[in-house]
């Protein structure tokens, strides 16, 4: 089954404790992206990656890091989480076959709470 | 810059009613436009898309037409069902500015009552 998986689905942590949210896709997609969803703000793009070792900032990259060492994986790293990073996070992937009409496939989301 | 504005929800309708969810956008070039749907507890799924002016995207009875003159991409459905209850997001990517970046609206929650 074609899918994007994220782990963990739920995470409660404390300020300053480094954490990683994993994302993996089995569709051989070149493009992967991270979003955060906050009430009233919709989805905002954190980082994206066009392919292995190619990443770039979205609109809200501060406080986050990413890496793309393998095509299927795109982990999101919070080196020193703060309460304002409490949010619902989504990973997405897409083929680059038709540049103007990307269909992104989304993971189920990770709900992060930072106390 | 690029942005997407959606009508605020929630929108509450009775089954078989007509649905319109307004979406307007600001973009530096000629964006591709999308509607995504999010069912409770799930990730987003692409509902429909349009990549150039006057294109009409359609899927599962939903339609939206890319109107460049009014910078709009309103979502419509002639007869909603309870199963359409979800949050709907309008989104754009702008190939002139950077088609790898996506911009989403704030989402509109739809509640359909039997």
A106 and B CB contact within 8 Å: yes
**pLDDT at residue B98 is higher than 70:** no
Spacing of C-alpha B12 from chain mean position: 17
pLDDT at residue A93 in the model: 93
Which chain B residue is nearest to residue A41, measuring alpha carbons?
B106
Residues forming a β-bridge with A72? none
Put simply, the chain B residues between 29 and 58 with a CB less than 8 A from any chain A CB are 32, 36, 41-46, 49, 51
pLDDT at residue B60 in the model: 95
Cβ atoms of B4 and B105 closer than 8 Å: yes
Give the least confident one: A15-24, B20-29, B81-90.
B20-29
B2 and A CB contact within 8 Å: no
| Better-predicted residue by pLDDT, B29 or B80 | B80
Task: Give average pLDDT by consecutive 10-residue segment, chain A, 115 residues.
Answer: 93 97 95 92 92 92 97 97 97 75 86 97
Nearest-CA distance from A19 to chain B in Å?
22
In this prediction, residue B97 has a pLDDT band, given cuts at 50, 70 and 90, of low
pLDDT at residue A98 in the model: 55
Which chain A residue is nearest to residue B102, measuring alpha carbons?
A45
Contact across the interface for A33 and B102, Cβ inside 8 Å: yes
Give the least confident one: A80-84, B20-24, B37-41, B59-63.
B37-41
Contacts of B105 in chain A (CB under 8 A): 42
Nearest CA among A51, A96, A98 for reference residue A70:
A51
Contact across the interface for A99 and B95, Cβ inside 8 Å: yes
- Identify whether B10 is preceded by a cis peptide bond (ω within 30 of 0): yes
Contact across the interface for A42 and B101, Cβ inside 8 Å: no
**pLDDT at residue B14 is higher than 90:** yes
Cα–Cα distance between B17 and B107 in angstroms, integer?
A: 20
In this prediction, residue B41 has a pLDDT band, given cuts at 50, 70 and 90, of confident
Cα–Cα distance between B112 and B98 in angstroms, integer?
A: 37
Contacts of B97 in chain A (CB under 8 A): none
Nearest CA among A81, A92, A91 for reference residue A11:
A81
Contact across the interface for B95 and A101, Cβ inside 8 Å: no
Which chain B residue is nearest to residue A89, measuring alpha carbons?
B43
Tens of pLDDT, residue by residue over A84-111, are: 999 999 999 988 765 556 788 999 999 9
pLDDT at residue A95 in the model: 83
In this prediction, residue B110 has a pLDDT band, given cuts at 50, 70 and 90, of very high
Nearest-CA distance from B80 to chain A in Å?
23
Contact across the interface for B51 and A100, Cβ inside 8 Å: yes
B25 and A CB contact within 8 Å: no
Cα–Cα distance between B43 and A81 in angstroms, integer?
A: 23
């Amino acid at each position: 089954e074609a899918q994007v998986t994220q782990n963990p689905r739920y995470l409660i942590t404390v300020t300053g404790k480094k954490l990683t949210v994993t994302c993996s896709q089995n569709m051989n997609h070149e493009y992967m992206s991270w979003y955060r969803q906050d009430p009233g703000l919709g989805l905002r793009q954190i980082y994206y990656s066009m392919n292995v070792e190619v990443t770039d900032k979205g609109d809200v990259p501060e406080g986050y890091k990413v890496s793309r060492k393998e095509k299927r994986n795109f982990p999101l790293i919070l080196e020193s989480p703060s309460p304002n990073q409490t949010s619902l996070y989504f990973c997405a992937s897409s083929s680059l076959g038709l540049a103007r009409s990307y269909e992104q496939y989304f993971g189920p989301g990770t709900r992060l709470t930072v106390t | 810059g690029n942005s997407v504005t959606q009508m605020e929800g929630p929108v509450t309708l009775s089954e078989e009613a007509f649905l319109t969810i307004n979406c307007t956008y600001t973009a530096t070039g000629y964006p591709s436009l999308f509607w995504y749907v999010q069912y409770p507890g799930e990730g987003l799924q692409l509902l429909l898309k349009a990549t150039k002016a006057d294109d009409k995207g359609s899927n599962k009875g939903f339609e939206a037409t890319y109107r460049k003159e009014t910078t709009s991409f309103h979502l419509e459905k002639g007869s909603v069902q309870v199963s359409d209850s979800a949050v709907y997001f309008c989104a754009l990517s702008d190939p002139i500015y950077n088609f790898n970046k996506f911009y989403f609206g704030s989402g509109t929650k739809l509640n359909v009552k039997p």
